[in-house]
Amino acid sequence: MQAANRVALNTGILYGKMMITVFISLYSTRLILAALGADDYGIFNVIGGAISMLTFFNSAMTSATQRFMSYAQGEGDEDKQRSIFNVSVVLHIIIGFLIVIILEIAGKILFNGVLNIDSARMDVAKLIYQFLIVSTFVNVITVPYNAVVNAHENMLFVAILGIIESLSKLGIAFYVTYADNDKLASYGFLMASLAIFLLLITRVYCHRKYSEVSIKIRKYYNKSLFKEMTSFAGWSFLNSATSLVTMQGMSIALNSFFGTIANAAQGIANQISGQLMAFSTTMLKALNPALVKSEGSKNRKQMINITMTGSKFSFILLSFFAVPFLLETPYILEVWLKDVPEWAIIFCRLELIRNLILQLIVVVQTGIGAEGRIKNFSIVRSISYVLPLPLAILFFSLGFSPPTMYILWIACWSVGGVFIVLFYAKRNFGLSIRDYNKQVVLPSGYLFVITSALGALPLFFMESGFLRLMLVLVLSSSAFLFSLWFISLNSIEKDLIKSIIRKISDKYFKKLKLSQIKS
C-alpha cells in the first residue's frame, strides 16, 4: 500500500505539471505552424522531426539505465548505484559519438536525392540536420542523469523541468513568429540550444542532490557490470533504434511519394498523439521505478500486480481523452489550426488507435525488462518494429494512399506487439494470459466500447460545432466514469482510490480547521 500511495502522489505531481504544460505545448505548435507555414513545418518534420521523437528515443535509453539503478535501490546497494552511474556515463558517451558518426554518414545519403525538398530550402534543411545531430548527442549524454532522477522517483523535479521546457518552447515560438531572419533556421538553432540548457540544469541538480552521482571512473568502474549493462542497453537500443529508424523512414517515404504537405499532417498527428498520451505516460513514469524495485527486492508477486494494474490504467487514461477526440477530430483541428493540412484528420485518428492498443502492453514490456532476460524478446520485437517500413514503400509504389502507413503500423507494432509481448511475459516472469485478459483486456475493452457508443450519439442528430463537442464531452465523460467504477475497477483498486480521496480530504479539512482557529 505504501508503494501504491507513493505512485499515486508522484502521479498527482506529474498531472499538476501537465495541467500547465499541455495547453502551452498545443498553443506553441499552433504558433510555429502559422509562423513557418505548412511547407517549412513539413521540412522540419522530415529533417528535424526526430528532435520531437528523441523524447521517445531518450526514454527508451533511460529505461535501460534506470532499470539497473532501480534494481540496485531495491537491493539496497549504494556502492553498486555509484558503479552503475559511472559505467552509464562512459557507455552513453560512447553511444553518443557513434550516433553522431552514423547520422553524419546518413546525411550524405539523405541530401543526395533521397529527400523531396525544394532546392531553394535545401541549405536551411542541411543546417536543421546539423542542429538535430547536436540535440541527439546532448540527449544521449543526459540519459544517466535522467535515470537517477527517475530511479529516485523525484517527480517534483521532473515536473519543474517539464514546465521550464514548455515555457522555453513557448518563448521560442513567439520569437520565431516575429523574427525577421529565416524562421526555420532560427527554430532549429533554438531547439538545439534548449536541449543543452536542460542538460546543464539536470546535471547541476543531480550532482548536488544525490550521493551516487559522482563521476570517478577509475574508482567505481566495474568491468563485469559494464558488460552486463552494455548487453542490456544493446538489446534495448535495438528496439528503440529499429522503431526510430522506421518512424523516420516512414517520414522520408511519405515525403518522397507525397511531398512536405503530407509530412505536415504527420507532424500534427504526432503532436496530438503525444499530448493526449502524456496523461498515460505520466502515470508510467511514476509507476516504472516502483515496478523494477519490486523485482529487485525479489517481490515477483507485487511486480506482476503492478504490471496488471499499470496496463489497465494506462489504456483507461488515454481512452478518457482519446474517445472524444476520435469522435470530433475534424472540428477540434479546425478550431486549433488556422489551416488543417490534408490527411491530418485520418492520420490523427489512426495514430491514436495505434497508441491505444500499445497502452495495453507498455507496462508489460517494462516487466520483461525488470526481469532482465531481453535478448530474444528484443530480436523478435525489433522485427515487428522494422517490418512496416518496407511494406509501406511497397504499397506506396503500388499507388496506395498515405493512411496505408498507419494501418501497417497498427498491424505490426500494436496488434503484433500484443502477441509478442504477452508470449515473452508468460515465459520470462510467469504472467498469466488468462488473468491478463480478465483483469486488463476485458475491463478496458468494455469501458472503451461503452464510452465511445454513448459519446457518439450526438453525431447522428447534430451539426458539427461547439455545442455538439460539449455534448460529446459530457456524454463520453459520464459513460467513462460509470464504466470505470462499476466495470473496470476491482475492489482493491476502489479501496485505494477511496483511501487517497480520504487522505486528501482529511488534509484539506485539517488546514481549513486550523485557519478558522487562527482567525
Higher pLDDT, 107 or 436: 436
Count how many residues are written for the chain: 519
Output the pLDDT for position 441. 93
Residue type for 179, please? A
Higher pLDDT, 35 or 408: 408
443 falls within a domain: yes
C-alpha angle 212-282-229 in degrees, rounded to nearest 5: 40
- Listing DSSP states for 325-384 in one string gives HHHSHHHHHHHH-SSPPTTHHHHHHHHHHHHHHHHTTHHHHHHHHHH---HHHHHHHHHH
Closest CA to 342 of 422, 410, 402: 402
239 falls within a domain: yes
Enter the pTM of the model. 0.73
| H or E stretch covering 46 | helix 2-47
CA distances from 197 to 12, 191, 343 (A): 26, 10, 35
513 falls within a domain: no
Give the chain's domain count.
1
Cell numbers 502477441 correspond to 419
Q: What percent of the chain has pLDDT over 70?
A: 84
36 falls within a domain: yes
Query: How far apart, in whole angstroms, are the C-alpha atoms of residue 82 and residue 62?
Result: 16
Least confident of 181-195, 201-215, 321-335, 428-442: 181-195
Higher pLDDT, 23 or 10: 23
515 falls within a domain: no
Output the pLDDT for position 442. 94
Average pLDDT for 353-363? 90
Helix 416-429 with 375-386: angle, nearest 10 deg = 180
Per the structure, the complete domain to which residue 24 belongs is given by 2-505
Higher pLDDT, 401 or 494: 401
Cell numbers 498520451 correspond to 277
- For 156-160, which contacts have Cβ atoms below 8 Å and span 24 or more sequence positions? 156/13, 157/205, 158/14, 158/17, 158/285, 159/13, 159/14, 159/16, 159/17, 160/17
Question: Which three cell numbers, joined as nine digits, stand for 179?
Answer: 523574427
Max CA separation in the chain (angstroms)? 77
Q: For the segment 236-291, what is each residue's pLDDT rounded down to a tens digit?
A: 778 877 887 888 788 888 888 887 778 888 888 887 877 777 666 666 777 777 78
pLDDT confidence bin for 50, thresholds 50/70/90: very low
pLDDT confidence bin for 478, thresholds 50/70/90: very high
Q: What percent of the chain has pLDDT over 90?
A: 23
Higher pLDDT, 372 or 478: 478
Closest CA to 161 of 200, 198, 205: 198
Q: By CB neighbour count within 10 A (0-12 exposed, 13-18 middle, 19+ buried), where does 358 fall?
A: buried
Q: Are 408 and 395 in contact (CB under 8 A)?
A: yes
516 falls within a domain: no
Q: For the segment 365-419, what is each residue's pLDDT rounded down to a tens digit?
A: 888 988 888 889 999 999 999 999 999 999 999 989 889 999 999 999 899 999 9
Closest CA to 321 of 360, 363, 272, 364: 272
485 falls within a domain: yes
514 falls within a domain: no
Question: Which three cell numbers, joined as nine digits, stand for 362?
Answer: 507498455
Average pLDDT for 110-123? 72
